[in-house]
Structure 1
Amino acid sequence: MGARSAPPLPLRFTLSFALSFAVLSGLCAPVATLAANPIVTDIFTADPTVLVDGPRLYLYTGRDETRDGEQGYKMHEWRVYSTCDMAHWQDHGVAATYRVFAWAKGDAFAADVVKHQGKYYLYAPVKHAGIKGMAIGVAVADAPTGPFTDARGTALVTNDMTRETPNDWDDIDPAVFVDDDGQAYLYFGNKVLKYAKLKPNMIELAGPIQTVGLFNFEEAPYLHKRGGVYYLSYASGLPEVIAYATGPSPTGPWTYRGVIMDKNKVTHTIHQAFAHFNGKSYLFYHNEALSNADFRRSVAVEEFSYGPAGEIPFVRQTTAGPQANPAAGCAAR
């Protein structure tokens, strides 16, 4: 299926000697450039999630290892990149693999990372070795780049805990949101959106798993907050588009607001994450730009501005990406 037979080009770090010197000096100097999409071009990446931590934005992705012409997902690890200007990215390598969880046997699917009380938590869907189907594990690290280790020794959510759908992959795509009062919420699901509160230790459920009725929900829930409004975005339909709803609390009630990114041309999935960084707003997603193949995806990003009533506009995919947006005093690490 893949149109490319040659390997992708290397990850971009610098565009000029002057910028290279600035990066080596530990500073991200202002540059008049665009952050070309896809962000990573030496491997195939998918399912982005992001974390803004101080002067840097951290991007976490899965890795598509399916070969050209093959079908199905082959994913074993989560990788991490960071930037201080949205144009140049530092590759921090592998943050974790599914083998971090001794009870798992494969499938490093779409994960999320949050920071809470000085620790970094990775919520990851993997195939359980002892219980049929997908499960969600939690790993913890002292730094945003890892290394992450299993925080529980057992799965947080297993397939036998949820009975809303007949498939055994409905406990995927975890997303964690920590509200201003410190309460953390876990969202996940395929076909049916589910959520639960987390205990302050971030590794135990604080109550029963609840279900939510959302228009044409497929998977990939993601919650962010702006101006007192909660934005719940998700992959809708199949092939997937990105849609969103808004509500007055982390649990709704939710009002459907529409589609904000169209389906991809080849790959039937799309997976979103939002960030507010250096005064600007960004939407991350994946497509098939490097491969023209369904299961060999690449992460990209677009800058956007909210509408006068706080609405998210329809965002078009570009190859140019956003303009450089450097943070003052950003040091490479």
Structure 2
Amino acid sequence: MQHTYLGKSGLKISRIIYGNWITHGSTVENEMAQRCVNAALDAGITTFDTADTYANTKAEVVLGEALKGQRRESLEILTKVYWPTGPMGPNDSGLSRKHIMESINGSLSRLGTDYVDLYQAHRYDVSTPLEETMLAFADIVRQGKALYIGVSEWTADQIRAAHAYSKELGFQLISSQPQYNMLWRVIEDEVVPTSAELGLSQIVWSPLAQGILTGKYLPGQEYPAGSRATLDSASRFIRAAMNDDVLTRVQNLRPIADELDVSLAQLGVAWVLQNDNVAAAIIGASRPEQVEENVKASEVVIPADAMARIDEILGDTVERNPAKTLEDQPGER
């Protein structure tokens, strides 16, 4: 497993991160979750990503239990704050000082640790002054409850404003966690160059476009039973992308994967890691075998001609509009 520095910091993370969105505490039984975490550790993954909102706090509990007994100093544990938790009361979401302070304490308790390595704003909060949010993060860092701060799905302008506050307040804003994959490239024109300028790295989620880039969905055929596309909770992204044109183009990527002697899933994860500003890709798993397969992608180098062929095959199915990040952000709370 390769490790790399996160942003302009001294913190190293594994290039493949194990994440537990929509798995732990939800679609994956706890015993299988433990096996998947063990597989990640055995493969050299040291970085684990979660959020308080996943399974309404249960995912943090499961991850904390799965990591119990591991040497804490050898792990990097990442979590997030913004979305509702608990009974969904008026202050149970957002980035107000109240919600942030209560959320970090809850996350630490559930994860069974005294601190998290990276605490991330899960979305931008238009209802709370940015200064209030950043002051709360600064205090959390000074209290030793988080070592570094990151954001998730923020625009370039929002990142720039937050970075200015972090410099003034004396803590390090080192990462952005956006959706990024062959089909969804909205960060490339603005977020990536801004982050590179300011010293942030990308930790990307959904490198496989929520399963589409694994090739398991075939044009003109029923979706596999139990797959993400069949769930009532399937995201807007996967519903919009599940058409025969996209699925056919994904199948047309197989010859490239075959030439590189990798699976389509490995090709997808390796593709995001080709971006110099991407420090790591988050993978999820419902079986240990998926962890073992995806970890191998960190060693794959895709030649320039193959990268060009991928662009040609996917063509105009690729979403590149940076405004999509702002469009997908929550409004007033």
Give the TM-score taking structure 2 as reference length: 0.29
Q: Normalized per residue, which structure has more helix? A: 2
- Kindly indicate which of the two structures has a greater share of residues assigned to strand: 1
Relative to the length of structure 1, the TM-score reads 0.29
